[in-house]
Structure 1
Amino acid sequence: MADPGITPLERAPSLGELALLQRAKALGFPVAPTWAVALEEEFYRLNNLPERIARLFSGVFGVRVDEERLLWAAEEAKRAIRESYLLPERAEAFLEALKGRGPFVVRALGREGLLAATPQEALFALKRLWAEAFQVEAVLDRYPELLPPFTPYLVQEAGEVEEDPFLSLELLQALGEKVVAFAHRGLLVRVEWEHGG
Structure 2
Amino acid sequence: MIHPLDKAPEQGEAGLLKRLLRAGLPVAPTVAVALEEEFLRLANLQEQIGLLFQGVFGARIDEERLFYAAERAESLVRESYLLPERAEAFLGSLKGWQGPFLVRDSGRSPFAQARTPQEALFALKRLYASRYRVEEVLERWPRLFPTLDLVLVQEAGAPQEDPGLSLKAAELLGQPARVEAWEGRVVRVILD
Normalising by structure 2, report the TM-score. 0.96
Please give the alpha-carbon distance, in whole angstroms, between the structure 2 residues aligned to 1:174 and 1:6. 27
Whether 2:108 is the aligned partner of 1:111: answer yes
Structure 2: give runs of 5+ residues left out of the alignment: none
Q: What residue number does 1:85 align with?
A: 81
Tell me the alpha carbon deviations over residues 88-144 of structure 1, each in whole angstroms, 9 at most, x when there is no partner: 000011111112312110100111211111110000000111111112121012112
For 1:172, the equivalent position in structure 2 comes to: 170
Looking at structure 2, the residues matched to 38 and 174 of structure 1 have their Cα atoms a distance apart, in angstroms, of: 27
3-state DSSP class of the match of 1:147?
A: coil
Q: What secondary structure sits across from 2:74 in the alignment?
A: helix
The total of aligned residue pairs comes to 190
SS at match of 1:182: strand
Alignment partners' CA distance in 1, 2:158 and 2:53: 36
| 2:20 corresponds to | 24
Equivalences for 1:15-164 in 2 at 5 Å?
15-101=11-97, 102-113=99-110, 114-164=112-162
The Cα RMSD (Å) is 0.9
Counterparts of 2:168 and 2:32, CA distance in 1: 25
In the aligned structure 1, how far is the partner of 2:139 from the partner of 2:76? 20
Distance in 1 of aligned mates of 2:94 and 2:168? 30
Partner Cα separation in structure 2 for residue 92 and residue 47 of structure 1? 18
Partner-residue secondary structure (3-state), 1:125 = helix
Give me the TM-score of the superposition, normalised by structure 1.
Answer: 0.94
The answer to whether residue 5 in structure 2 is matched with residue 9 in structure 1 is yes
**Separation of aligned partners in 2, 1:95 and 1:19:** 23
Distance across 2 between alignment mates of 1:85 and 1:45:
12
Gap runs ≥5 in structure 1:
none
